[in-house]
Amino acid sequence: MKIQVGGLSEGLHTYAFAPTPTELGLPREFEGIVEVGATLEKTGKDLFLRVKAAAQGVWECDRCITEFRCPLSAHYVMYYVWEEEAAAQFDPSEVQLIPAGVSAIDITEDLRQTLQLAVPLKRLCRESCKGLCPQCGKNLNDGPCGCTPLAPDGRWDKLRELMTDTKHDAR
């Protein structure tokens, strides 16, 4: 996804893109069209880009291993400059130098990384997911399984005592 910046007039310019996850190099969990809105502000020799994106993916729940759909939204900002001296005034993670003679900027890689970072680390079908029974593997969201609860492992008794003592000391 390229934005033409050569010969661009000063002021605000808006862009809309609708790439597929494959075009962005996103993993197979992403599906449908990625909706991208970009606003580019040109002032003097600097460009300030704001990008917002919305996507959807299908992931496996970390607790119950069922597939679920999850909408994602992400945004980022980037400064583009033609001179190295101008780059020094910005956060290095938010500035890119445009080489001489380049008339378009490609936002594909920045967008791909931003969307991948928007995927939650803990993927849950819902916050109250009960997961699977550790004995029989039944999905506990569908109801109780009927297994006899396991007796506590005695090897952890000292740790439980320490945690209990810590809770009392904190009061």
Cβ contact 15:3 at 8 Å: yes
Q: Comparing 23 with 90, which gets the higher pLDDT?
A: 23
**Rounded CA gap, 88 and 119, in Å?**
31
Q: Are residues 83 and 145 in the same domain?
A: no
Q: Are residues 161 and 83 in the same domain?
A: no
Q: How many domains does the chain have?
A: 2
Query: Is 125 a member of any domain?
Result: no
Chain centre distance of CA 163: 35
99-121 per-position pLDDT tens digit: 888 889 999 999 999 999 999 99
Q: Are residues 12 and 90 in the same domain?
A: yes
Which domain, by its residues, includes 147? 140-170
Residue 40: closest CA among 107, 87, 100: 107
Q: Are residues 31 and 93 in the same domain?
A: yes
pLDDT at site 171: 54
Q: Are residues 76 and 149 in the same domain?
A: no
Name the one residue in this structure whose structure tokens are 């494959």: 22
Q: Give Dmax (Cα) for the chain.
A: 73
pLDDT at site 85: 78
81-100 per-position pLDDT tens digit: 888 777 777 888 888 888 88
Q: Are residues 23 and 83 in the same domain?
A: yes
Q: Are residues 87 and 153 in the same domain?
A: no
CB atoms within 10 A of CB 122: 8
pLDDT at site 37: 97
